[in-house]
């Protein structure tokens, strides 16, 4: 479903949208916004991208922000550009999740020192796999493996 939003106010007020009074916002814009919100929250059960990924609240926020920023700059929004921007943000977060899994596991291992090198290596291998799984669960469109590689 596609929603086309009218301008929220007259052109003279567009540069100060953040500080407008509610009365200065177009009733047509408010009606369209209400329809959009009802659709997102109630009518459309699952938000999916064409790549099969479920869009969570954070992802929807990234997409909306990219669209708003693009329109505010006077450019024409493009879904593919918004998806690419979202993928960068999601993959950077996925790397952090993977690193946290690995680092917390290695911190726990320190409590067991001294250990044989074989035991440390074995735990490293296990945690590396666990961190990779955590990354894969959170990553999105890392088609060239750039973010997975940065995790390793």
User: In terms of domains, do 112 and 68 share one?
Assistant: no
Locate tokens 């296990």: which residue?
126
Q: Which of 21, 47, 72 is the last residue of a domain?
A: 72
For residue 143, being part of any structural domain is answered with yes
Number of domains observed in the structure of the chain? 2
User: In terms of domains, do 56 and 102 share one?
Assistant: no
What tokens were used for 83? 């998806």
Q: Which residues contact 84 (CB under 8 A, 6 or more apart)?
A: 141
pTM above 0.85, yes or no: no
For residue 1, being part of any structural domain is answered with no
CA distance 7 to 79: 20
What domain range includes position 44?
A: 11-72
pLDDT tens string for the chain (152 positions)? Answer: 788 999 999 999 999 988 999 999 999 999 999 999 898 888 876 767 666 677 777 778 888 888 888 888 888 888 788 888 888 988 999 999 999 999 999 999 999 999 999 999 999 999 999 999 999 998 988 989 999 999 98
DSSP state, 39?
I
Check residue 40 and give its pLDDT: 80
């Amino acid at each position: 479903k596609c929603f086309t939003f009218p301008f929220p106010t007259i052109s003279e007020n567009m540069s100060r949208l953040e500080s407008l009074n509610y009365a200065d916002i177009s009733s047509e814009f408010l009606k369209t916004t209400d329809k959009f919100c009802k659709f997102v929250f109630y009518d459309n059960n699952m938000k999916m991208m064409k790549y099969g990924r479920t869009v969570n609240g954070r992802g929807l926020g990234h997409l909306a922000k990219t669209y708003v920023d693009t329109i505010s700059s006077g450019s024409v929004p493009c879904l593919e550009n918004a998806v690419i921007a979202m993928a960068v943000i999601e993959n950077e977060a996925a790397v952090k999740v993977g690193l946290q899994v690995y680092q917390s596991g290695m911190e726990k291992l320190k409590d067991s020192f001294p250990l044989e090198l074989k035991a440390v290596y074995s735990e490293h291998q296990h945690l590396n796999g666990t961190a990779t799984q955590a990354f894969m669960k959170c990553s999105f469109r890392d088609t060239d493996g750039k973010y997975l590689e940065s995790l390793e």
